């Protein structure tokens, strides 16, 4: 018997490190890791030891003969990867740093951002540092876990399970919580560096990219970022209103977020009622009339931005057909890589095996929006046709043909990527939406020199790419650079104590949420969920969170 990695793989690489025979690929040091849709187990090399099962944080590894019905295809997908990518299997060797000595000076590190990249960085620091480490984590929201809480679709509970690792980190005695504290408002970078040896910025990319077409700001036109925040109960978006009275929604973009949004719009509301979806979103979706969701992709299907596992998830849903124009199925450039070929094959299978469901996911390729049409609100989307051509470098690119058509809709959502936003006092690259850095060390763009004590991890470091587990290797690279700099004596020394910092914060933001405060919120949400047969029911109002935390009436100064 062999083991198989299935749909909810998070690319965390815990399994890669645990495998004694090195049969899980791609590994972080292989060229294809950064772009891999998931990890794969070679059935010809697997020794049935189950080490990968024990360490997977999202329960994505199954014995081949125990694969659930929706995942049976993954046995062949795992095997097909190695036919396309013959690999020499070698156990991964990780060089551990010497253990910390109790008499050494404590390294104090601030991490700004309580999402996956921030927690992975904290875990790496606490696990591998050669000196005692104190980690202070900051987030502007009263709740931690970033995109795991407010970005992962509610019907993907296995992916959310990675928060179990983060909870272990949060319980560490040398980990200190400073939630509901916005760096840039209550504290500056200089404030943090005065009390820490280094600051790791891991605050992600929260803004959505714009289309830049006429009518984009009409009522009924929104970013998918807003919609995802709304159905996930993010406090910034809980009061948004989306018109679900029409029968069609148009989503510009065909990445995983676009598929998530489409799935939430089309799924049976009774299925969603068993998840942690926000109560207000569940009520609105129960009244929704939307039965068709159209995704617009600029390039052909072989170059679609979504991953194969996310597309395959639609095949397991009752009542939803996946519809593709036959011209798109056959009029595309041949994919040259394994992922592209697999996407094409899976989509062709889904399109040819529709069961006459009452709802439709319509995938359009080689089209781009040219205008959002309407007088007082969105009435339609005008789209232009593209054709795929090969440019001078040999890359496949989309080229406008000049032909247009119009799709009637009352709801248009743009899902064309996230963009980071800078903080006061930090270098920032407006074009890429990232902190300029080399291997996680932030650099001054004017001089090209590293800024002592300033680091970046996650999307604000590399841009919005990869899945949640991708942040583990990304954060490990940053932490390795930080620890190397500390060992070389290149980090600035704090000029004030940890006690001084707590005093400063009490003056600046007495309503900061510590570990105990967050646990009160967490336990309340879990109890509400338990009473309703759901994983949790999230609080979406900031004042309610403060009341539950025991901080009601505490002023924000």
Question: pLDDT tens across 198-219, in order?
Answer: 999 999 998 899 999 999 999 9
Rounded to two decimals, the pTM is 0.92
Query: Of residues 228 and 389, which shows the higher confidence score?
Result: 228
The size of the chain, in residues, is 557
Task: Report the pLDDT value the prediction gives residue 504, as an integer from 0 to 100.
Answer: 96
Indicate the burial class of 201 (C-beta count within 10 angstroms; 0-12, 13-18, 19 or more).
buried
- Locus of tokens 């057909």: 321
Buried b (16+ CB within 10 A) or exposed e, 296-310: bbbbbbbbbbbbbbb
pLDDT band of 267, cuts 50, 70, 90: very high
pLDDT at 136 (0 to 100):
98
Q: Residue 98's pLDDT is what?
A: 55
**What pLDDT digit, counting tens, does each position of 494-547 carry?**
999 999 999 999 999 999 999 999 999 999 999 999 999 999 999 999 999 999
pLDDT at 336 > cutoff 80: no
Please, what are the domains in the chain? 3-84 (3.30.70.20), 107-206+420-549 (3.40.50.720), 211-416 (3.50.50.60)
Confidence of residue 557 (pLDDT cuts 50, 70, 90): very low
pLDDT above 70 covers a percentage of the chain that reads: 96
- How confident is the model at residue 307, as a pLDDT? 93
pLDDT digit string, tens, across residues 399-445: 999 999 999 999 999 999 999 999 999 999 999 999 999 999 999 99
Confidence of residue 340 (pLDDT cuts 50, 70, 90): confident
Q: Among candidates 75, 176, 165, 186, which has minimal Cα distance to 133?
A: 176
CA 105 and chain centroid, separation: 35
* CA-wise closest residue to 309 among 259, 251, 365: 259
Q: Which residues pair with 404 in a beta bridge?
A: 384
Query: Do residues 494 and 504 make contact, with C-beta atoms less than 8 angstroms apart?
Result: no
- Return the exposure string of 26-64: e unless at least 16 CB atoms fall within 10 Å of the residue's CB, then b: bbbeeeebeebbbbbbbbebbeeeebbeebbbbebbbeb
- Among 39-48, 229-238, 354-363, 539-548, whose mean pLDDT is lowest? 354-363
50-79 average pLDDT score: 93
What pLDDT shows up at residue 274? 96
d(CA 361, CA 93): 45
Contact 474, 461 (CB under 8 A): yes
**Per-residue model confidence as pLDDT tens digits over 276-287:** 999 999 999 999
Instruction: Reply yes or no on whether the pLDDT at 99 is more than 60.
Output: no
Q: What is the mean pLDDT of residues 381-396?
A: 91
Give the closest residue to 316 by CA, choosing from 244, 267, 247, 250.
267
110 or 498, greater pLDDT: 110
Token pair for 110? 């601030």
| Band of pLDDT at residue 475, cut at 50, 70 and 90 | very high
Written as six digits, the tokens of 536 are 């949790």
């Amino acid at each position: 018997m062999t083991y198989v990695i299935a749909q909810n793989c998070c690319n965390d690489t815990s399994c890669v490190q645990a495998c004694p025979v090195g049969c899980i690929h791609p590994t972080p040091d292989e060229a294809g890791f950064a772009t891999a849709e998931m990890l794969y187990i070679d059935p010809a090399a697997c020794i049935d030891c189950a080490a990968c099962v024990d360490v997977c944080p999202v329960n994505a590894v199954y014995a081949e003969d125990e694969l659930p019905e929706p995942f049976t295809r993954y046995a062949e997908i795992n095997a097909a990867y190695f036919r396309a990518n013959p690999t020499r299997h070698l156990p991964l060797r990780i060089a551990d740093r010497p253990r910390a000595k109790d008499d050494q000076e404590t390294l104090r590190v601030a991490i700004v951002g309580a999402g996956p990249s921030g927690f992975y960085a904290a875990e790496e620091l606490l696990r591998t540092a050669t000196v005692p480490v104190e980690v202070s984590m900051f987030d502007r929201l009263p709740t931690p876990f970033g995109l795991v809480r407010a970005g992962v679709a509610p019907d993907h509970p296995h992916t959310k399970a990675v928060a179990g690792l983060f909870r272990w980190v949060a319980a560490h005695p040398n980990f200190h919580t400073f939630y509901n504290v916005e760096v840039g408002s209550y504290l500056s970078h200089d404030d943090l560096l005065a009390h820490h040896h280094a600051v790791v910025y891991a605050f992600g990319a929260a803004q959505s990219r714009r289309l830049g077409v006429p009518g984009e700001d009409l009522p009924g036109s929104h970013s998918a970022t807003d919609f995802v925040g709304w159905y996930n109960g993010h406090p910034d978006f809980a009061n948004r209103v989306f018109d679900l009275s029409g029968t069609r929604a148009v989503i510009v973009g065909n990445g995983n977020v676009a598929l998530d949004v489409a799935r939430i719009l089309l799924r049976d509301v009774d299925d969603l009622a068993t998840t942690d979806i926000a109560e207000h979103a569940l009520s609105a979706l129960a009244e929704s009339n939307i039965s068709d969701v159209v995704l617009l992709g600029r390039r052909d299907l072989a170059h679609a931005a979504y991953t194969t596992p996310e597309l395959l998830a639609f095949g397991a849903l009752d009542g939803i057909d996946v519809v593709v124009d036959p011209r798109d199925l056959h009029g595309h450039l041949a994919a040259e890589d394994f992922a592209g070929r697999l996407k094409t094959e899976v989509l062709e299978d889904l399109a040819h095996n529709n069961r006459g469901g009452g709802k439709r996911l319509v995938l359009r390729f080689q089209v781009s929006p040219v205008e959002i049409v309407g007088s007082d609100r969105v009435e339609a989307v005008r789209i232009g046709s593209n054709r795929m051509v090969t440019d001078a470098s040999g890359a496949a690119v989309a080229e406008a043909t000049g032909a247009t058509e119009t799709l009637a809709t009352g709801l248009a959502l743009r899902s064309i990527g996230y963009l980071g936003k800078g903080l006061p006092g930090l270098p920032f690259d407006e074009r890429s939406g990232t902190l300029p850095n080399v291997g996680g060390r932030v650099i001054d763009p004017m001089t090209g020199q590293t800024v002592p004590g300033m680091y970046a991890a996650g999307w604000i470091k590399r841009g919005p790419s990869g899945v949640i587990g991708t942040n583990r290797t990304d954060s490990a690279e940053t932490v390795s650079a930080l620890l190397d700099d500390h060992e070389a004596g290149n980090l600035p020394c704090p000029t004030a104590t940890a006690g001084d910092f707590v005093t400063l914060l009490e003056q600046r933001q007495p309503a900061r949420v510590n570990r105990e405060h967050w646990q009160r919120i967490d336990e309340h949400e879990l109890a509400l969920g338990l009473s309703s047969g759901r994983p949790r029911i999230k609080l979406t109002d900031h004042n309610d969170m403060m009341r539950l935390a025991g901080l009601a009436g505490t002023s924000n100064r």
